[in-house]
Amino acid sequence: MINLVSLFASFKFPSLNRIKKGIIPNHVAIIMDGNGRWARKRQMPRIFGHRKGADVLREIIIASRDVGVKFLTAFSFSSENWQRPKEEVNELMQLFVEVLDRELEGLIKNDVKLNLIGKREIIPKDVLKIFENSESKTRDNKSLVLNIAFSYGSRQEIVDATKKIINSYKKGKIEKEIDINTRNFSGFLYTAGIPDPDLLIRTSGEYRISNFLLWQIAYTELYFTEVLWPDFDRKHFFKAIYDYQQRNRRFGKL
């Protein structure tokens, strides 16, 4: 485990001596926003921002593992993103294939387990194949679970969970008298078996959730930053964790 005090030293916070090393979020979710704006500022095509954003994600994955985060969920491609211009969607699909192929060895080396959450039925077969190959080859890794939210929309996730419950009832897999509550409903979501996020980070200065983990973030701490995702680095990530450590999480209690 790295020394958090030394990592935060560059921030020159007035309360460094109050950093609680043991209070590390178990699960961090990130809305990686700002790739297109970052590219436009540099008069480059949007895909350059997405490529830089993929490099940043690699850095944050390693930072998460190093600091002791156990689950990292990255909002990579939403269900609404399919409506973007066909050329951009095709470029993004190719980028995902390239990145997954390039990073697989690093995921294995760093003991990172890859998990895809999203509507798999509409993902192009070649892209889904490489995702599922990476899932298979990293399934026994334990240091960090990396959830890639791809073709993901939270409203659709909740609808799909409801359909699963109905179908399970019709097939006799669940009893008629089953008590559907918040805990067992979660077991029908794409994120079944994954703890709810403790901290949600959104970059780029936007203050929206954008149909991301709506069920799961009921008591998640939210952190917004003006920094565009391609400029977000370990320092910004640890600053978000520092901010999280200063909060009092009551979960509706006094």
In this structure, is residue 224 part of a structural domain?
A: yes
d(CA 242, CA 24): 9
Q: In Å, how far from its chain's centre is CA 39?
A: 22
pLDDT tens profile 196-233? 999 999 999 999 999 999 999 999 999 999 999 999 99
Cα angle 74, 130, 59 (rounded to 5 degrees) comes to 35
Task: Give residue 109's identity as a one-letter amino acid code.
Answer: K
pLDDT tens profile 87-124? 999 999 999 999 999 999 999 999 999 999 999 999 99
- Residue 10: what pLDDT? 45
The pTM assigned to this predicted structure is 0.90
In this structure, is residue 162 part of a structural domain?
A: no
Asked if residues 25 and 70 have their Cβ atoms less than 8 Å apart, the reply is no
In this structure, is residue 181 part of a structural domain?
A: no
In this structure, is residue 251 part of a structural domain?
A: no
140 is in which domain, residue-wise? 24-153+195-245
In this structure, is residue 7 part of a structural domain?
A: no
In this structure, is residue 222 part of a structural domain?
A: yes
- The residues, ordered by sequence, that sit 6+ positions from 9 with a Cβ below 8 Å of its Cβ are 16
Structure-token match 């080396």, residue found:
109
Q: Of these residues, 66, 81, 211, 243, which one is catalytic? A: 81
Nearest-Å Rg of the Cα atoms of the chain is 19
In this structure, is residue 6 part of a structural domain?
A: no
243 as an active site residue: the answer is: no
Q: Of these residues, 33, 110, 115, 198, which one is catalytic? A: 33
Our count of domains for the chain comes to 1
Cα pseudo-dihedral 97, 101, 102, 106, rounded to 10: 130
198 as an active site residue: the answer is: no
- Residue 178: what pLDDT? 65
pLDDT tens profile 155-181? 999 999 999 998 887 777 776 656 778
| CATH code of residue 33 | 3.40.1180.10
